[in-house]
Amino acid sequence: MKLKVKDMDIATGGILVVLVNEKDAEKFDLHHEDRVSVKKGRKKTTAIVDIGESDKVVKPGQIGLFEEVVDELNAKPGDIIDMDLEEKPKGVDHIKKKLEGKNLSKEETDEIVREIVERKLSAIELTYFIAACYTRKMNLEETVNLTKAIVKYGNKLKLRNKIIVDKHCTGGVPGNRTTMIVVPIVAAAGLTIPKTSSRSITSPAGTADTMEVLAPVELTLKKMKKVVQKTNGCIILGGGVDLASADDKLIKLRHPLSLDPEGMLLASILAKKAAVNSNHVLIDIPIGKDTKIKNKKEADHLKKLFIKIGKKMGMKVKAIITDGTEPVGNGIGPALEARDVLWVLKRDKRGPKDLEKKCIRMATDILKSAGVKGAGKKVKDILENGKAYAKMKEIIKAQGGNPNINPDKIKPGKYQYTYKAPKSATITDIDNFTVSKIARIAGAPKDQGAGIFLYRHEGQKVKKGQPIFTVYAENKTKLKYARNILKKIGEIRVNHTYL
């Protein structure tokens, strides 16, 4: 069937969708969610059908193309394209097999991942795949196969370096901005560390959000390679270089229900490391009531799997279990976290000691794993003699930022509210979930200056009238929303043991 293009000016965020008039749908016996092939000249793709029930949006003889299809076909309004029926992707049958509790072969896993990358599977089908892996579990072989498939059908960073190191955190701890300190330390030690990071989905800031305060993070793969070759490291947005595109699509669907199937979690993390050819990887597993991993038993189990799967992927993996019961650092939110990072690197007394201590431990573990002698002393020397800060400036410049940025010029939002201690007390609990929630309501990470600054941590004493935290926002309305929520939940659920 030949149809005239209408550009819908609507993006789905990934899935290829076309809209046809109900009369044309009847002629072709098409139903909602059916698949069709659409072709313009030599360009051809597969899309999912939506049906318009009147002539208001698309008329008979027209086909509405969502932006992803427009881009695939390089189509313009008024172009004539061919539409034909398309068979159901084979991956759907494999997903059904997994739903029935059967294990998937390497070939079946490859087919599913390839069809994810080619955008042949709908959001519903991918959600069923995630649910199947969540309820039916994945064995070790399936997890390795999924990891390899994600790498196979994504871009790869090709470097000739013999040793390439990397790190990752399983998440859930606000302010845990270790990457931005560990990367320059390790790079200054002469090791290669091409770090890809993510933006926030549910937290006040991802590493990419915080690094973006200092430098661009959306680099091409070619640009990423140049930065790494010049400086030994980078801190960029992983999604921008398409190193594990299948995983990026799965993550978007996993988060609404907070579904983290164990096999997918492992494959997601290790595929990104394999895509940059890392062979020495450090995994940080924070445990606490608000982190992904709740207790030491779960952490020990995951630690063993990371090491086993890493070995099968040709990686030497070290996993450390860390305290995730409260935020790390003082600033929560892009600008506040970036300021903390620079203070630590510049050896400013305002740099948070808990963040510094954790970064020293992680950088030391990475250097030890790579066979560097005297790793602990070397890490401390690099930090103290300014080489880590100099390296960070190199990376910022190479990525297109201002290397001479002054942390004191990084200003948080101008609207603020400070909560002060009503009595002298000892801080006994700072709730991670609530800290994240308030920082996000205040505008983080979209508003770079929004967030929370903590003046005290658990176990520290505070006198009556001293500040415990300040909420920052870039406009009055968001600060008002944040304060209203604070009132409802009792001032961030900071518990005091009064003296």
Nearest alpha carbon to residue 54 among 25, 80, 34, 30: 25
Per the document, the length of the chain is 499
Per-residue tokens: 243: 């190193």
One DSSP character per residue, 84-111 reads: EE-PPPHHHHHHHHHHTTPPPPHHHHHH
Q: Pick the catalytic residue: 79, 110, 248, 260?
A: 260
Nearest alpha carbon to residue 321 among 288, 287, 290, 294: 287
Question: 473 CB contacts (<8 Å, ≥6 apart)?
Answer: 413, 415, 416, 442, 443, 447, 449, 450, 479, 482
55 with 64: CB under 8 angstroms? no
Element (H, E) at 474: none
Going by their DSSP bridges, the two strands 233-237 and 80-85 should be labelled as unpaired
Question: 61 CB contacts (<8 Å, ≥6 apart)?
Answer: 3, 4, 21, 24
Catalytic residue list contains 260: yes
In 61-207, where do the E strands start and end? 62-65, 80-85, 165-169, 193-197
Packing angle between helix 90-99 and helix 123-136, nearest 10 degrees? 30
Going by their DSSP bridges, the two strands 461-462 and 425-429 should be labelled as antiparallel
Percentages (nearest 5) of helix, strand, coil residues in the chain: 45, 20, 35
Q: How far apart are CA 306 and CA 316, in angstroms?
A: 10
118 with 15: CB under 8 angstroms? no
Nearest alpha carbon to residue 282 among 251, 223, 322, 324: 322
Nearest alpha carbon to residue 148 among 295, 272, 265: 272
Burial track 288-325 (b if 16+ CB lie within 10 A, e otherwise): bebbbbeeeebbeebbebbbebbeebebbbbbbbbebb
Cα distances (Å, whole numbers) of residue 237 to 14, 89, 105, 320, 426: 18, 31, 32, 24, 39
Q: Is the CA virtual torsion 126, 132, 135, 139 positive or negative? A: negative
Active-site residue list: 260
